Chains A and B, each alone.
Chain A
Amino acid sequence: MPDYSDKVMDHFSNPRNIGEINEPDGLGEVGNPVCGDMMKFTIKVKDNRIEDVKYLTFGCGAAIAVSSMVSEMAKGKTLEEALKISNKQVAEELGGLPGNKMHCSNLGADALHKAIEDYMEKQGVKAESAT
């Protein structure tokens, strides 16, 4: 078993905000080129803030914990703030990830950023996100 932190196991066991928002304001989907897994984020935006965020994840324990953590971190943030959420931050918030699971943390923030970019594109704005 990978050496997962308690925080990772907590989010894996009780993932928050699972699902898919109907007619979302933004949608971001990413595949993990390393292992072939997938993540899909949908967001609802109100007054430039992420009012609601949901995700679907096909992936390992780390990937599920990452998506859950990202959803918690993003909720209520302004779009600019949410775009600054980085993969590294997510891993840190989770109390670290085993070395060979770091690549799973890329999925979460990437999928969220894609959803925000999708929203901004629809609004005709160009986004700048952290990686």
Chain B
Amino acid sequence: MKKINLDNAAASPLEPAVLEAMLPFFTEHFGNPSSGHELGNVPRKALEEARASVARLINAEPREIIFTASASEANNLAIKGLIAANRVKGNHIISSVVEHFSVLNQLKTLEKEGFAVTLLPVDQYGLVNPEQLDQAITDKTILVSIQAANPEIGTIQPLDDLVKVAESKGVPFHTDAAAAVGWTHLDAKKTGVALLSLAGDQFGGPKGSAALYVSKKTRIRPLIEGGIQERGLRAGTENVPILVGLGMAAKLAAETLAERVKKSSILRDQLKESLINNVPYLHLNGHPEQRLPHNLNFSVEFVEGEALLLRLNMAGIYVSSGSSCTSQALKSSHVLSAIGLPPELAQGSLLFTLGRQNSADEIPYITDQLNSVADLLRKMSPLYHQYLKEVQNNA
């Protein structure tokens, strides 16, 4: 049976060149970059090369890159670290309702600790309004944290405009760009963000590889104290092989970004067209144009997402869903409810994220399978039967 991974944001295989670059650092070049003897030399050089590659990908300087083990960690270092260094300036933080939980849950904790938090709403597409940001900023605001793109519905925020607003009021801006880096042209210097989180596993690097960009003029405090690795902002022996992988993935992404974006957008649009034209009762979630080139999010009306997911899994197609039934907490996606999607549509949501390995010849099979799976589940749905009766009565 065919196996088609349409859940690349959850996990995708390493690019072969990335794995190849990593391997010697598990064995031959096992040294510690901090060592005084020569075993540390090659790893130290490789680590700094990786840092330079990551910096190049987002137009930053190498010393502005702090390696972390996940984007969640980068988000924590950004927010907690900045607050720790700027506590005297105020106690107000602004973010949005569609952020990742590694932002939202921190803010909840900070609220308990006495910080004032404003979560900006989004429109039906998931966009934050720069004017609303402007109105929310007070003289107590010490940080704005708004994602570059949403990992679930793919909506790309008007980051330049948002940063401009914060900048004009002298408030530092953090962006969680984990979903965006490697898939959009992001220029840290030009947008003027103070802090930016990125994740290597989102663009062909290994899991556990991530970084926080800290602009030269931004002061933060470390979460992990100890040695002086990462300029004292993140203590602990560097995970050299993983970070070499991150560097290689960043290098490849930077070299081929325009081509990747184009290729993926075309494939995404072909898949979108095919699904919309052949599968009834489909709703696209997120922005129709301003969205990540590898992201599609649909709600299938009248059916529930976990059942869809399991059926597609049986057909060798791997997707994810924002349905409450698929979540450990049994809550449907906060992003889908933030864009005002009615609960029954949120229940039927399916997230597709494309990767390098997907190709256009998979589209007919995906379309066929989703069509028959949705049809089968619809036929046993009380909501669908109710709908049919209503249609009949109106006729």
Q: Which residues of A contact B (CB under 8 A)?
A: 1-2, 12-13, 15, 18-20, 29, 34-40, 55-61, 63-64, 100, 103-104
Contacts and interface: CB of A to CB of B under 8 A. Distances in A.
Q: Which 4 A-B pairs have the closest CB atoms?
A: A60-B325, A56-B382, A60-B306, A35-B324
Interface stretch (B173-181, B219-227, B274-282, B307-315): B307-315
Interface string B322-358: 0111101010100000000001100100000000000
Contact of B385 (A2, A20, A36, A61): A20
Given A60-B304, A61-B306, A100-B328, A37 B385 contact: no
Looking at A2, A34, A58, which has the most chain B CB atoms within 10 Å of its CB?
A58
Contacts of B344: 36, 58
A56 B381 CA distance: 5
Contacts of B332: 35-36
B307 A60 contact: yes
A59 B325 contact: yes
B328 A58 contact: no
Contacts of B385: 20, 40, 56
Nearest to A35: B324
B379 interface: yes
A63 B324 CA distance: 13
A15 to B, nearest CB: 7
B228 interface: no
A15 B311 CA distance: 12
A1 B310 contact: yes
B302 interface: yes
Contacts of B347: 35-37, 58
10 contacts: A20-B385, A35-B332, A37-B304, A37-B347, A40-B385, A57-B382, A58-B304, A58-B381, A60-B325, A100-B330
A64 B380 contact: yes
Nearest to B347: A36
Contacts of B382: 29, 38-40, 56-58
B310 A12 contact: yes
B314 A13 contact: yes
A86 to B, nearest CB: 22
B313 A59 contact: no
Contacts of B304: 37, 58-60, 63
Most chain B beta-carbon neighbours within 10 Å: one of A15, A20, A40: A40
Nearest to A59: B304
Contact of B325 (A18, A29, A35, A55): A35
Contacts of A34: 324, 330
Interface string B109-145: 0000000000000000000000000000000000000
B303 interface: yes
A36 B343 CA distance: 8
B373 to A, nearest CB: 11
A1 B67 CA distance: 31
B322 to A, nearest CB: 12
B383 interface: yes
Given A35-B330, A100-B330, A15 B380 contact: yes
B310 A37 contact: no
Contact of B324 (A13, A36, A38, A55): A36
